[in-house]
Amino acid sequence: MKSNRQTTLRRQVAVTGDGVHSGLPVTLTLGPASIDAGFVFVRSGSDGSERELRAITRHVISTELATVLGDRGGPLVGTVEHVLAALRGMGVDNATIEVDGPEVPVMDGSAADFVAAIDRAEVVSQSAQRRFIEVLRPVSVTMGNAVGELRPYSSGFRAEVEIDFENPLIGRQSYALDVTPARFRRELSRARTFGMMRDVKRLWSSGFALGASLKNSVVFDDERLLNNEGLRYADECVRHKILDVMGDMALAGLPLLGAYRSIRGGHKLNHAVLTALFADRGAWRVVERQSAHRRAARGLVDVGVGLAGGRIAAAYGPDVSWAIEESFFWRSRLCQALSAGGGACARQALTIMAVAGFAAGMGDRRSVGSDAVCGWFCWGLAGRLRLICVDERGLPP
């Protein structure tokens, strides 16, 4: 399968389960979709009626304990994050998601059953080029003691998440990784939703968690884990938070080229950061090709660490030294051209840098001072050649 082509599913596959908040049974059917369709939810009613809605940021109407999509007609479907995480994490670009209930089934609390369904449906390539939303400059949001930031990162999508709970069985955990289908399957897809036993009555009285149980949630009291089978990962809680991030970031409408960092975050913060990104038209652009595929060709290996309650846990992060060295080299060439030959040499250097993907290298924001000034000079001129494809509301199609 060509990684630069859009993908969809070959056939329809259905899964059945209960909604974690509604407690109602629901059948979800994944199916193929046309080029550039993105992820489209179709809600079928008992009377045979259907409503459909594209899974994008402006259709988010609630982020309390789950992400809910809707429009002027009211809520359409809730708890969409796990199935969206599975689709985006497994490299699917276009799919229909049909549901016959008010929310996506929780299954076992993770995305594992959705990944299995995607495997059965089979991911296939389409004829069009894959498009990405490239983050061009940092965008951050602070909510109390929670902080979220999207920043440039040309190597794909990277998630860096830290959680900090008073419950000592969870405590402070952090995890970071560059997301690929293989790593999503191995490191994130089986991480389950979690909660505290002391919160159950409050949630029930508010109409939440009516379908939650030890079969679909990791539950802690103040002294122990209540699930007899234990944890699937030593740091399962923070991995599940990254799973939620994947689902919420899928609402960008296209795969992201950027790094997302979250501290004590949740659905509300994730949505706020994505909304802030699209509100700043200079902070992103749509591109058709991921220039950072060069990195894989260089045979570099990802290494890194995760931290769970003060213990080291398996994790991975990118080796970015090549990007630093390469962007420094091209910045130096531009500085030399400007000082030695004036405009003609500068134009020549800019041409070379455009071919070399200089703008993507500058996206990492790892320099300051004169080098950064040169970079922004090139960035500004290169911007005249960009074509940004957006819809009438200024958001990605």
Examine the pLDDT at 367 and tell me if it is beyond 50. Answer: no
* pLDDT above 90 coverage of the chain, percent: 63
Cα dihedral: 241, 9, 58, 393 (round 10): 140
Could you give phi then psi for residue 40, rounded to 5 degrees? -120, 120
What are the residues whose beta carbons fall under 8 Å from the beta carbon of 384, sequence distance 6 or more? none
Per-residue pLDDT band for 20 (boundaries 50, 70, 90) equals confident
Residue-averaged pLDDT of the chain: 80
| Cα dihedral sign, 295-130-104-269 | positive
Q: What is the mean pLDDT of residues 28-48?
A: 93
- Percentage of the chain lying above the pLDDT 70 cut: 72
Q: Which of 66-75, 270-279, 368-377 has the highest mean pLDDT?
A: 270-279
Q: Is the pLDDT of residue 47 over 50?
A: yes
Helical H segments across 122-258, by residue range: 181-183, 200-205, 236-249
Please identify every residue annotated as catalytic.
Answer: 267
Token pair of 45, please?
């009613």
The residues near 204 (Cβ < 8 Å, ≥ 6 apart) are: 210
Residue 379 has pLDDT above 60, yes or no: no
Q: Which of the four pLDDT bands, split at 50, 70 and 90, describes residue 187?
A: very high
Mean pLDDT of 75-102: 97
| pLDDT score, position 204 | 80
Mean pLDDT of 126-140: 98
* Of 193-202, 231-240, 336-345, the least confident: 336-345
pLDDT tens digits along 269-298: 999 999 999 999 999 999 996 444 444 344
Residue-level pLDDT at 287: 97
What pLDDT does 336 receive? 43
Residue 106 has pLDDT above 70, yes or no: yes
Measured distance CA(42)–CA(44) in Å, rounded:
6
Whether the Cβ atoms of residue 109 and residue 218 lie closer than 8 Å to each other: yes
Whole-prediction pTM value?
Answer: 0.74
Tokens of 367: 């320099």
Q: What confidence category does residue 176 fall into, taking pLDDT thresholds of 50, 70 and 90?
A: very high
* pLDDT per position as a tens digit, 227-246: 999 999 999 999 999 999 99
Q: If residue 329 lies in a helix (H) or strand (E), which one and from where to where? A: helix 321-356
Q: Give residue 2's pLDDT band: very low, low, confident or very high (50, 70, 90).
A: low
The CATH H-level superfamily of 5-315 is lpxc deacetylase, domain 2 (3.30.1700.10)
pLDDT at residue 48, rounded to an integer: 73
Domain boundaries, the chain: 5-315, 321-383
